Structure 1
C-alpha cells in the first residue's frame, strides 16, 4: 500500500489550487476590520496513517457497521440488527487493541458511501485530503477567510496538513476528545498582536446514554478568543448531536422536536442547557461573538416557523435563560433556536445565499452572530457555500458538507 505524506498530498492539492499567495494586510488601529470567517465539516478527516490503520482493521472485519440498522419503515432496529452490530463492535475493538483505541478510529462504514462492494484505498483517501486542502486554499485565497472552524477532524495536526502552503501563516488549536471526531480552529496570526486563546467546553460532550458509564460522548465545544483592534471577539465552534435535524418532514427524515423520544433528540436536548450557559458566559467577557459549526439542526426552519414563546417549552414558561435540567440533563424544551435566541440573549442567523454549485447536506451548518456583533454589520449581510474541490470520478468524496463562509466587520 503506497504511503501518502503531507508533501505528496500537498502536491495533489496544488494541481487544484489557485497560484498566488497574498500576505495579510494589518489593519490600522481603531479602523473597522473585515474578516472572512468559515465553518467546514471535513467528513471524518484524519491523516493518511489514520486511514491506513482504519483500512487494516476494517478489512479484517469485512467493513462491518457498528451501528444497528433499521429495516424499511422501522422506528428502531430489530434484535437481529442489534446483535450483528454488537458483534461488529466486539470484533473491531479486539483488532484495534481495545475500546479506547477503537474509539479513536473512524468506523468501518465512514468512507464506504454507496459503493460498499469496493472499499476505498490509500489512493482514494489521498484524493480526499487533496480535495479538502484545495478547498481550504480556495477559501483563504479567493474569499479572504482568516478564521476557520472545522468539524469532524481527527486533530490539529491534520488541520495543519490541510492548510498546505498557508500552514506557516495560521495558528491552530483543537479540542482533545476521546473519539475520532473533534472540532478545531485555524486563524491568521496577523489578526492580533496577542496570541489567540482557545478553550474547550467539555459540558457539550454529553454521553449518549447517561445510564451507561461506558457510553460514548458526543463532541465538545471549542472557543477561540482574539484581541482585534479595539475589541475582544470570540468564536464558538460546535458540532451537535446528529439525527434530530428538522421540524418540517421530508420523504427521508421525520419531523422531530427536541422533546421527541428518539435517542438522537434526547441527546441533543441534553446539549441545550450547556450550550446556553456557554453563550451566557462568553457573552459576559466578549459580547461580540460568532457561534458557528455543524448544528445538526435546521435552526433556519425553526426561525421561519414563528413559534410563540409559550410554545417553546413544554410547560409554557418563558424561554428566558438556561432551562432547568432533570437528573439526566434533559430540559423541557421543544425548539433549539427559540431557546437560544431569547429576549435576554439576542442572536442573528446569517442568511445563506443560494449556490447551485454546492452539493452536500443543507440546513445543518450555520453562522450565528451575537446581538452586539450583528449590529455592526451592514444591511443585507449574507453567507455563502463554496463547492468542495474534487477531481472527476473521485471515488471518495472530499466531504459531504460544503464550507459556509461570511465576511464580517469588526
Structure 2
C-alpha cells in the first residue's frame, strides 16, 4: 500500500476532541533478554567446558573436564544445547565483536540499568518487547517489577519470545493470542522463526488491537545484495518470503477494528521498500489479488499492507532521530538509501544513538482509527548500548542493555 503519513501535526484533531485519549507505545528488541534466575543458569552452562564430537561434528558438554568454555564455542556450528531455555553464549560482544563472558554481577547491573532506562527514558502505556525469555524477564526489566503492568507472552517455541505489556489502568485484555503460522510450523526446527502475538484491549469503550511481530532476520533491504526477497536460494530471504502470506492473513483476520497497532522488529526496511518503484511481485500482478502459485513477493510492505480489505489500511509512522544534528541527518538519509559502514558506526557511537542496530528493522504501523502527531522516535541508548570486557580494574564486564534502540510513538483516538 502507499497511503503513508509521515509526520502530521493534527492539532485540529486534538483541539476538536478535548476528550481524545492519548497512548504512548514503544517497541524494543531487548537482545536475548532473560530473567535473572534463568540468566544465572545460562551463565553456569556457558561457563562449562565443551568438546567437539569428531564423529558428528557437534559441540557437546565435556564429561572429562577438558575442552573449551561455552563462551568460546562457535554457535554458528552445531551445538548440543537447550534452545528453548537459553540464548547462545556469544550474545555479548565488544567493539571488536569478540565474545564477552558474562558474570552474575554484570547481568544484575545490566538489569538495573535497563530498569532505570525504561522508567526514566521510555515510559509507555503499551510496550511490545522482542527477544525475551518470558513474563518474568519482562517484569525484571520494568520498574517496580512491572507492578503497574499486565503482561501477555508465551512459553513455547524458542527462547527469543515476544511479549506485550500494558498499564493495568487501560483495562484487562480480552485475549492473549499467539499466532503460530508466522513460525512456519511445516518447516524443520532449524528453519522456524518466531510466531506473532496479539492482545485486545477495550480502552474508554473502544477496541484497540495490538499485534507484535519479530520476523526472520538478515534479509533487510531491497537495496542490499543480500536483501532480495525473491532470491529463493538465500535461506534468510526464503524464510522471510514464507512468512509473508501468513502475516497478511493474520493482519486481515484481526483487522475487524480500525484502531489497531502493528509493531515490532520486522527485520525489513519498509522505508526502502516504500521508496523503491519496482513491482511488488515478480510477475507484476496486483497485490490486491491472490498471490498466484510460484510467484514471489519483492516488496513485503506493499504486499501485506495493500489496503485490501479497507480496514487493513495502515499508516507507517515516519521515524525521527532528534538527538542531535548527526543523528537527524543520518536517519533522514537512511530512510531513502543505504548508509555506509562508517555512517552506521557513527550512529552506533555512544554520543549518538548508541545501539548496534540503529535503523531499518523496527517499525510502528497504525490503523486509520488512530492518529499520530509527531511520527515515531528512535530513542538513543547512548553508553548503555556498548559492551566492555572485564579488566584488571573491573573484574566484571559491562553489558549492553540491548543492541537495538527503542522506537516510541504517541497516538490518539
What is the aligned counterpart of 1:48 among 27, 36, 50? 36
Paired position in structure 2 for 1:314: 282
Query: What is the rounded CA distance, in whole Å, between the counterparts of 2:36 and 2:147 in structure 1?
Result: 21
What does 1:216-235 correspond to in 2, within 5 Å? 217-235=192-210
Alignment pair present for 1:398 and 2:411: no
Query: What is the rounded CA distance, in whole Å, between the counterparts of 1:31 and 1:43 in structure 2?
Result: 38
Query: What is the rounded CA distance, in whole Å, between the counterparts of 1:383 and 1:189 in structure 2?
Result: 24
Paired position in structure 1 for 2:304: 340
Query: What is the rounded CA distance, in whole Å, between the counterparts of 2:293 and 2:91 in structure 1?
Result: 34
Alpha-carbon shift at residue 109 of structure 1 (Å): 1.4
Aligned Cα root-mean-square deviation (Å): 2.5
2:36–2:137: 8 Å Cα contact kept in structure 1?
Answer: no
Alignment pair present for 1:279 and 2:279: no
Deviations 1:49-72 (CA, angstroms, capped at 9, x unpaired)? 2222222222322321221xxxxx
Paired position in structure 1 for 2:23: 35
Are the structure 2 counterparts of residues 189 and 30 from structure 1 closer, same or farther at C-alpha, using a change threshold of 3 Å? farther
Paired position in structure 2 for 1:384: 377
Alpha-carbon shift at residue 247 of structure 1 (Å): 1.4
Paired position in structure 2 for 1:98: none
Query: What SS does structure 1 have at the residue aligned with 2:158?
Result: coil
1:238–1:295: 8 Å Cα contact kept in structure 2?
Answer: yes
1:238–1:293: 8 Å Cα contact kept in structure 2?
Answer: yes
What is the aligned counterpart of 1:110 among 77, 87, 91? 91
Query: What SS does structure 1 have at the residue aligned with 2:369?
Result: helix
Paired position in structure 1 for 2:213: 238
Are the structure 2 counterparts of residues 190 and 389 from structure 1 closer, same or farther at C-alpha, using a change threshold of 3 Å? farther
Deviations 1:172-193 (CA, angstroms, capped at 9, x unpaired)? 110332211100011011123x
Q: How many residues align?
A: 332
Alpha-carbon shift at residue 104 of structure 1 (Å): 1.9
Query: What SS does structure 2 have at the residue aligned with 1:270?
Result: helix
Paired position in structure 2 for 1:349: 316
Paired position in structure 2 for 1:66: 75
Query: What is the rounded CA distance, in whole Å, between the counterparts of 1:230 and 1:406 in structure 2?
Result: 22
Alignment pair present for 1:302 and 2:273: yes
Query: What SS does structure 2 have at the residue aligned with 1:160?
Result: helix
> TM-score with structure 2 length normalisation?
0.74
Paired position in structure 1 for 2:157: 178
Query: What SS does structure 2 have at the residue aligned with 1:317?
Result: coil
Alignment pair present for 1:268 and 2:228: no
Are the structure 2 counterparts of residues 115 and 335 from structure 1 closer, same or farther at C-alpha, using a change threshold of 3 Å? closer
1:30–1:230: 8 Å Cα contact kept in structure 2?
Answer: no
Alpha-carbon shift at residue 304 of structure 1 (Å): 1.6
1:52–1:122: 8 Å Cα contact kept in structure 2?
Answer: yes
Paired position in structure 1 for 2:139: 160
Query: What SS does structure 2 have at the residue aligned with 1:222?
Result: strand
Query: What is the rounded CA distance, in whole Å, between the counterparts of 2:366 and 2:100 in structure 1?
Result: 43
Alpha-carbon shift at residue 263 of structure 1 (Å): 0.1
Are the structure 2 counterparts of residues 190 and 30 from structure 1 closer, same or farther at C-alpha, using a change threshold of 3 Å? farther
Paired position in structure 2 for 1:358: 353
Alignment pair present for 1:146 and 2:139: no
Are the structure 2 counterparts of residues 404 and 377 from structure 1 closer, same or farther at C-alpha, using a change threshold of 3 Å? closer
2:26–2:409: 8 Å Cα contact kept in structure 1?
Answer: yes
Alpha-carbon shift at residue 111 of structure 1 (Å): 2.2
Query: What is the rounded CA distance, in whole Å, between the counterparts of 2:125 and 2:289 in structure 1?
Result: 32
Alpha-carbon shift at residue 343 of structure 1 (Å): 3.5
What is the aligned counterpart of 1:197 among 172, 175, 194? 175
What is the aligned counterpart of 1:367 among 364, 389, 400? 364
Are the structure 2 counterparts of residues 372 and 112 from structure 1 closer, same or farther at C-alpha, using a change threshold of 3 Å? same
Paired position in structure 2 for 1:57: 45
Paired position in structure 1 for 2:263: 292
2:372–2:409: 8 Å Cα contact kept in structure 1?
Answer: no
Alpha-carbon shift at residue 108 of structure 1 (Å): 1.6
Query: What is the rounded CA distance, in whole Å, between the counterparts of 1:275 and 1:346 in structure 2?
Result: 15
Query: What is the rounded CA distance, in whole Å, between the counterparts of 1:138 and 1:359 in structure 2?
Result: 17
2:180–2:196: 8 Å Cα contact kept in structure 1?
Answer: yes
Alpha-carbon shift at residue 370 of structure 1 (Å): 2.0
Query: What is the rounded CA distance, in whole Å, between the counterparts of 2:155 and 2:84 in structure 1?
Result: 13
Query: What SS does structure 2 have at the residue aligned with 1:254?
Result: helix
Query: What SS does structure 1 have at the residue aligned with 2:255?
Result: helix
2:229–2:240: 8 Å Cα contact kept in structure 1?
Answer: no
Paired position in structure 2 for 1:22: none
Query: What is the rounded CA distance, in whole Å, between the counterparts of 2:108 and 2:233 in structure 1?
Result: 40
Deviations 1:345-386 (CA, angstroms, capped at 9, x unpaired)? 42211001124332221110000112333xx445xx311121
2:28–2:128: 8 Å Cα contact kept in structure 1?
Answer: yes
